[in-house]
Chains A and B, each alone.
Chain A
């Protein structure tokens, strides 16, 4: 592994050069193998979406791509269009509430002192380590009593339970890294603290807020369990819709793959940011 070989040393051992070159091509082969192992299943599912149902089974590598699955998915009984709309509205609603709320809380945690001190945001984060089932049982009862089961609003509220703690934690980490000088200067100029926050801090913090927004987008878009419990028909989102491809007279795998395509597509569009947010996100925020 050349990562740990000091380049200055390589000239010392002349006979080591060939061995190193063999080692490198072995290593490259391993890298390619691993990448294929992780990417091929994703490609396989995406390809299945374009296979005629008769060829969805087995090893058919060559097939005549068809759009018939796409049309079938948007029709009855799969209603991909309405599921897609639910996913978009629920994710948008979650972000529209969670990001401003989390930004304000993150700023408060970063700049002011509270009883409970620095532990409070960590406690908020630690609630996310509890099993989601424990939260969803009372939520189910409450929404049932309010007649809100199977509504998009109920899903937005449920999603806030995990998006707000994570987003607050991530944005707070970003605020912590910003110097307070600018705010103080703005305040000396007569701006109130709130004005200073809005006009000085928020513009500088946009990259941090965007990172949290991307993270929140990914987890809300992919959310499955709350939607499984809280929706039945009207508010079903894409990940839960996958289950409907399973139960209708046998398993319609090509429909499942088509729905999967719509779930993956936004992730591929933002995949460039995804790596950055994973590095900057959960663990590094936590490992820091």
Chain B
């Protein structure tokens, strides 16, 4: 029999007595689970299977209220030859790689600055999480406003200090729009990972750091050679999580850039969204969503393995 739980928590003895339970209690466990299973079956498992079915069908909702015929793998085959899809995959990578790297680096720098429990640090931490509790849609639309070349505060600052550069059409320039999307994403997520890293830093054993200090090692060396290796498990999980979050990021694309200018910020989730709900091509959109989902399932499995591994 497998162990009841990997973390060896107090539930182990309860599980061991399972057979000894009165009959009524043996049914209780399923009764307790049933509502949640029902909810998940209706809102998660059924839609997942259904979209997999749609992905093998020819179906434009604008033409017909029901699927128009079995297409086999034709949608998938068409996708792999579709330059728009491949372009969108490239845009997704161009967003994901810098946003993950910068978020982790910025969050770690912030964590090192704020790990102390001084009054300034504690207050700063409380204030820094406020943007994270904001609706992503509000974040996107707020930055769209602040980056507006006519009305935005960013351009007003540029006009004041570097009048030659104004107006800066950030969101209408392909490269700058992507940079802004990445910067706003880092702004959104860095405080959250900062809190995670502060927790991890506090859990580091002090003796190795102290010993290195006695030996006269500098702070930079201590960080890279002593602290960083011990932080790897947490960093790995944080990088995986942020990669997943970046790959599925959609709200800010819709509210800030709408995929533009042109298709410069048209990431895969946004392309699925427009294909399904602007062009009503349900079959094609579902196939696209499943190709993205396969990549993310791989990452989710890696994540599960690391989480299970680190709790042992």
A residues engaging B (CB < 8 A)?
1-6, 9, 27-28, 30-32, 34-35, 38-39, 41-42, 44-45, 48, 56-59, 97-98, 100-102, 104-105, 107-114, 117-119, 122-124, 126-127, 129-141, 157-158, 160-161, 164-165, 168, 175-180, 183, 192-194, 197, 218, 221-225, 228-229, 238-240, 242-243, 245-246, 251, 253, 256-257, 260, 263-264, 267-268, 271-272, 274-275, 278-279, 283-284, 286-288
Contacts and interface: CB of A to CB of B under 8 A. Distances in A.
Contacts, number: 344
B134 A129 contact: no
A77 to B, nearest CB: 17
Interface residues of B, number: 124
B181 to A, nearest CB: 15
A137 B44 contact: no
A24 to B, nearest CB: 10
A222 B136 contact: yes
Contacts of B10: 176-180
25 contacts: A6-B213, A27-B113, A34-B110, A35-B124, A45-B142, A58-B151, A104-B35, A105-B37, A109-B33, A111-B11, A117-B4, A126-B300, A126-B304, A131-B296, A133-B285, A135-B43, A137-B282, A140-B276, A164-B40, A242-B138, A243-B255, A256-B142, A275-B129, A278-B192, A283-B196
B129 A278 contact: yes
B133 A267 contact: yes
Interface of B: 2-7, 9-11, 13-15, 18, 21, 24-25, 28-30, 32-33, 35-37, 39-40, 42-44, 46-48, 50-51, 54, 61, 110, 112-116, 120-121, 124-138, 141-143, 145-146, 148, 150-153, 156-157, 160, 187, 191-193, 195-196, 199-201, 206, 209-210, 213-214, 219, 222, 227, 234, 237-238, 241, 244, 247-248, 250-251, 254-255, 268-269, 272-273, 276-277, 282, 285-286, 289-290, 292-293, 296-297, 299-301, 303-304, 307-308, 310-311
B24 A192 contact: yes
A29 to B, nearest CB: 11
Nearest to A39: B127
User: Which secondary structure dominates chain B's binding surface?
Assistant: helix
B244 A9 contact: no
Contacts of B200: 287
B120 A38 contact: no
Contacts of B141: 242-243, 245-246, 256, 260
Given A131-B247, A222-B136, A253-B151, A38 B127 contact: yes
B124 A218 contact: no
